[in-house]
Amino acid sequence: MNKELKYSAPTDSEVILGILNNSESALKRLYIAYFPMVLQLIINNNGDEDDAKDIYQEAIIVLYNKVKAGDFELTSKLKTYIYSVCRRLWLKRLTQLNRYGGDIRDFQEYLPVDDEVELHNDRDIQFDKMQNALQLLGEPCKTIMEDFYIYNRSMQEICERFGYTNADNAKTQKYKCLQRLKKLFFQQK
């Protein structure tokens, strides 16, 4: 049953250094190396390839954030870590969809990773709220918020882009937009 997967995987420390240095190629090698393993897990446990993509990307994000936050200690193989996170996430998803039959077919060893998955879920909920709030905010507020808070553009640039007559007007507009965004964000349950 357990087919060995043979792909040239990057070494674990290569991956971690790569993520820390924002290396696109390291991310890509990581992604390609372990996707088949996760695909195998999901499609043999009531899922399809789109589920596998979702779950796998979530797990990569969990790993990525953990490495970036600087608290990733390599206590097991990276492969085992990714598998464990995917397994946990998939079990959770199956339960939510009422598709979980109480049994999962495993292909790898795994570790308990409940805390990390919980943390990730909490953050995901916040991001979902932010996405909704930004969508509800509408233009031009959305672009002003993105330009100022995400791309760190100066008020001067923003002023020119939106054709405000002076920087004070732009600032007032930005202030109003931010207040609305906060309101939209916090009133979501």
Judged by the rule CB under 8 A, the positions of this chain that interact with another protein are 1, 3, 24, 27-28, 31-32, 35-36, 39-40, 43-44, 49, 52-53, 57, 60-61, 64, 105, 123, 126-127, 130-131, 145-146, 149-150, 171-172, 175, 178, 182, 185
Spatial contact of 37 and 60, defined as CB atoms under 8 Å apart: no
CA distances from 20 to 63, 69, 87 (A): 11, 9, 25
Q: How far apart are CA 22 and CA 179, in angstroms?
A: 33
For residues 31 and 119, which CB has a smaller minimum distance to another protein in the complex?
31
For residues 113 and 181, which CB has a smaller minimum distance to another protein in the complex?
181
Least distance in Å: CB of 159 to another protein? 15
Pick the closest to residue 51 from 28, 64, 35 (CA basis): 35
Q: How far apart are CA 105 and CA 42, in angstroms?
A: 9
Least distance in Å: CB of 112 to another protein? 25
The amino acid at residue 168 is: D
For residues 50 and 75, which CB has a smaller minimum distance to another protein in the complex?
50
Least distance in Å: CB of 119 to another protein? 13
For residues 27 and 91, which CB has a smaller minimum distance to another protein in the complex?
27
Least distance in Å: CB of 145 to another protein? 7
For residue 175, the Cα-to-chain-centroid distance in whole angstroms is 29
For residues 75 and 82, which CB has a smaller minimum distance to another protein in the complex?
82
Least distance in Å: CB of 130 to another protein? 4
Pick the closest to residue 48 from 57, 56, 39 (CA basis): 39
Question: What are the counts of helices (DSSP H) followed by strands (DSSP E) for the chain?
Answer: 8, 0
